[in-house]
Amino acid sequence: MSASNGKRPPLMAERRYGAGKGARKEGGGSAPKAKGRATQAAKPRKRSARATRPAPRGPLGFAAAMVRGLMRFVLRVVWGVGWRIAMVLALVIGLGVAYYAAQLPPVTNLVDGRARGSVTLLDRDGATFAWRGDQFGGMVTADTISPHLRNAVVATEDRRFWWHPGVDPQGIASAIRINLSEGRGPLSGNGGSTITQQTAKLLCLGKPFDPETWESEAAYEADCRRTTLWRKVQEAVYAMAMEARYSKEEILTIYLNRAYLGAGTRGFEAASQRYFGKSAGQVNPAEAAMLAGLLKAPTTYAPTNNLARSQDRARVIVGLMEQQDYLSASEAEAARANPATLSATAQQDQGGYFADWVMDTGPEFFTRDTTEDVVIRTTLDPRIQTAAEQALLQVFEERVSPGSEAQAAIVVMSADGAVRAMVGGRNVSASGAFNRATQALRQTGSAFKPFIYAAALDLGMQPFDLVDDSPLTMNIPGSGSWSPENYDRRYDGMVTLTEALAESRNIPAVKISEQAGRENVRTVASMFGIDSDLAAGPALALGVSESTLLEMTGAYAGILNGGSSVTPYGLVELRLKGDDTPLMGTGGGIGERVISQEAAEKLTWMMSRVVAEGTGGRARIDGWEVAGKTGTTQGARDAWFVGFAGDYVAGVWMGYDDNRPLSGVTGGGLPATIWRETMTRVLDGQPVKPLPMRVPEPAAADTIVGAASQDVSPSNGQASDPETDRLLREMLGAPQGAEPAPAPEQRDREGLILDVLTNILGGAGN
């Protein structure tokens, strides 16, 4: 329909947008342009952005414009330079990755990176009781270990291990945030390292240990663990190279074999064997969590150091495994309810001092500095070792004041010198510590006296021969007079050699030593194994020379075995791991004869009187024959008891490391008590065996042991003659042999008469 004026009204589109540019008149001409608003709508005027922006007005607006312009310029410069720098860095990193990747060897060459070998020590029954060096249990792979262990390691150390390219930016950012929030430096504490980066650190970026470059392996490893920004960059590049060269499983395999896990173990196989006595492929979730927990701090969390602390750490790992869906809720709860425990062998944790001693006595290239894996079979008896440790701990707990710093040591050996137990201090589980049984040189005191009597008996003196226990002064050339005293400052007059030894009288010991000859005494002691320097003067008889407990116990073993020397030993057989042919055998045992068997058996009987009637009464064991000797040095700085029963000889020493005097302790006190507690446990359940001793006939003594040296001055410097003394005693009716000793006043009266007659007859017997 048309409008009233006959013209077509404008279309809605035309009114809104104007006539289309393509509209033309009929006949091919163009349509006339619309007027007014239609024309304006068809051609809207465009204003430039500059025209719409208000011009800056005033100084503030001008300054803002300047700042905006400067920022745009800086951004253009940064972008222009930054992308170029990024390209250069990417190129450098790529070249570094390619270089390291080309240098990486096959995986099998990297699993065992130890610079030294290991030593496994077996007891007399063939069971392992100690390890030394770096233990490597053999190669395991990511596929052969327990799935629980593989999952525990990944959950603990690197939850994104299976997909990151060697570095984990998210983990690094999180670690920096934690370090800063705890007041540490950005690289201190949590490092955000991936398993691949940790493996790169374990490999020391491909630099092997060189003994000529590094002072020690410890110094080398400390440098490998050094954390600096540049080292972190190197680790990242090396890690990416490993990712390019190896598969994820191969990288994890290297890590599982190289990681240090406490107690000298390298790799999870060695650690699993050490702590649980099983292969890494057999561990359950609780055991896997405990092993993985060691990675954070191996020594701190080692279960052999603190089982409870290690179990607490394992619970944390179980929680991580549950969170990351490696364990179901029920499996995690079971692992927490039944935490991992040590194997029976690991729980024993005994013989540390003994193991250290064996390592020191063996050849250095097969023990302390071995590059091979070595197995040593020893003489250690775990039952006897436990007995010694328990005895020492019990006595110190019950008899020693809390807080006391006094120390003690114990050695138990067979009569042939085979050491069965050794405790080098109150910390019975210590290893690598100062061993007071083998390293402490201490004065022996009266514990040395059996060697004086051994020399005397071997020269023909008898247990019932008499010796005068009276005050004595000796003229020492170059030193003047010397007047020894008995411990109790009492003097018993004429006593038998047996009584003198039982009561540990000093004056008789000096006289017997002088009559037997100091050099003979020194020779006997030295041949029995007292290798330390022995005093040259008459004070030799009082035990002023120093010795170790091991030497003294070995010397007493020579008395027990019938008079032959022994060399204490602990090593029975040494071989390379996996090799059945021993490289060396026993390095000790019974040696040459020192005194006659008769003399040794008589001395054993005399020493049994020390325990039955003398100063060693606290060492008695019901139902057993016990022989031994107490020893207390001047000022009570050292207290000893060494003795034997059955097939074993044991020695106990007690004192302070700084040589302070003991308070109220003598050899017949706490050392004898420790000895009894030790040997009671050792002999428990064993068939009773008598001591090899010869009881002397209670006949009249043939000799009065006097001062046979001109250095002795009981009466104005005159030396008495034994035969003259004997005749005079017969004339005076003095007791002979095993008869009871006279009262003190009678002995004093007889001694005075003897002195007068000796002066009158002086020189008659010389």
Residue 51 to residue 694: CA distance in whole angstroms: 130
Among 1-5, 164-168, 186-190, 397-401, top mean pLDDT goes to 397-401
Mean pLDDT, residues 399-416 taken together: 95
Decide if 294 contacts 260 (C-beta within 8 A): no
Q: How far apart are CA 294 and CA 273, in angstroms?
A: 15
What pLDDT band is residue 78 in, cutting at 50, 70 and 90?
Answer: confident
Provide mean pLDDT across the span 686-711. 72
Pairing of strands 493-496, 419-423: unpaired
Phi, psi of 574 (to 5 degrees): -125, 130
Kindly report which listed range (94-98, 303-307, 355-359) carries the lowest average pLDDT score. Answer: 94-98
pLDDT average, residue stretch 684-712: 72
CA distance 142 to 151: 10
The residue whose two tokens read 């004997």 is: 726
Give the C-alpha separation, 439 to 424, whole Å.
9
Q: For residue 202, what are its two tokens?
A: 């374990």
Say how many residues make up the chain.
Answer: 766
* Confidence bin at 707 (pLDDT 50/70/90): very low
- Nearest-angstrom CA–CA distance, 545 and 542: 8
Cα–Cα distance, 634 to 382 (Å, whole number) = 36
Using the 8-state DSSP alphabet, how is residue 265 labeled?
E
**What is the SS3 string spanning 41-61?**
HHCCCCCCHHHHCCCCCHHHH
pLDDT exceeds 90 at position 376: yes
Confidence band of 118 (pLDDT split at 50, 70, 90): confident
Tell me the DSSP string of 114-170: -SS-EEEEE-TTS-EEEEEE-EE-----TTTS-HHHHHHHHHHH-TTTTTSSS--HH
Q: pLDDT at position 735, please?
A: 39
> Tokens at residue 744, please?
């003190």
Mean pLDDT check: name the lowest of 110-124, 412-426, 737-751. 737-751
Coil, helix or strand at residue 384? helix
Least confident of 384-388, 593-597, 736-740: 736-740
SS (H, E, C) 435-463: CCCCCCCEECHHHHHHHHHHHHHHCCCCC
pLDDT for position 724: 41
Residue 578 burial class via C-beta count within 10 angstroms: exposed 0-12, middle 13-18, buried 19 and up: exposed
Supply 461's token pair. 């003196």
Q: Which CATH number fits domain 135-348: 3.30.70.980, 3.40.50.360, 1.10.3810.10, 3.90.870.30?
A: 1.10.3810.10
Residue 36 has pLDDT above 60, yes or no: no
Q: For residue range 311-349, what is the model confidence (pLDDT) as tens digits?
A: 999 999 999 999 999 999 999 999 999 999 998 878 777
Local structure of residue 260 (DSSP, 8 states)? B
Sheet holding 118-122, edge to edge: 128-133, 118-122, 374-378, 571-576, 584-585
Q: What is the pLDDT of residues 135-155, one digit of tens each?
A: 888 889 999 999 999 999 999
Residue type, 745: E
Encode pLDDT of 288-315 as tens digits. 999 999 999 999 999 988 999 999 999 9
pLDDT, tens digit (0-9, with 9 covering 90-100), for 729-758: 444 344 333 333 344 344 444 444 444 344
CATH class of 411-683: alpha beta
Helical H runs in 661-719? 670-683
Angle between helices 597-613 and 449-458 (to 10 degrees): 140
Determine which helix (DSSP H) or strand (DSSP E) holds 628, and give its type and residue range: strand 627-632
Q: What is the pLDDT of residue 39?
A: 44
| Pairing state between β 265-266 and 135-136 | parallel
Q: Average pLDDT in the 173-192 region?
A: 66
Query: For residues 532 and 547, what is the distance between their CA atoms, to the nearest angstrom?
Result: 6
Q: Which two tokens stand for residue 153?
A: 């390691």
Tell me how crowded residue 359 is: count the other CB atoms within 10 A of its CB.
Answer: 23
On average, the pLDDT of the chain sits at 83
CA distance 615 to 611: 7
| Gap between the Cα atoms of 265 and 298, Å rounded | 10
Give me the long-range contacts of 121-125 (CB less than 8 A, separation at least 24). 121/351, 121/355, 121/358, 121/376, 121/378, 121/380, 122/375, 122/376, 122/377, 122/378, 123/351, 123/378, 123/380, 123/381, 123/382, 124/377, 124/378, 124/379, 124/380, 124/381, 124/420, 124/572, 125/382
Quote the CA–CA distance of 27 and 45 in Å, as a whole number: 32
The β-bridge partners of 655 are 407, 638
- The predicted model gives 127-136 an average pLDDT of 86
Burial of 523 (0-12, 13-18, 19+ CB in 10 A): middle
Cα–Cα distance, 371 to 725 (Å, whole number): 69
- Indicate the pLDDT class of residue 47, thresholds 50, 70 and 90: low
What CA–CA distance (Å, rounded) separates 369 from 140?
Answer: 26
Tell whether the model's pLDDT for residue 286 goes beyond 80: yes
| Cβ–Cβ under 8 Å, residues 303 and 173 | no
Contact call for residues 577 and 594 (beta carbons, < 8 A): no
Quick one: CA dihedral 551, 556, 561, 564, positive or negative?
Answer: positive
Per-residue pLDDT of 215-264, as tens digits, reads 777 788 888 888 787 888 888 888 899 998 999 999 999 999 999 998 88
Weakest mean pLDDT among 93-97, 290-294, 295-299, 572-576:
93-97
CB neighbours of residue 115 within 10 Å? 15
d(CA 493, CA 741): 8
Most confident of 168-177, 180-189, 424-433, 452-461: 452-461
Q: Encode pLDDT of 48-61 as tens digits.
A: 544 455 555 567 77
pTM: 0.73
Question: Could you tell me the residue ranges of all domains in the chain?
Answer: 135-348, 411-683
Q: Where are the beta strands (DSSP E) in 543-616?
A: 546-547, 564-567, 571-576, 584-585, 589-593
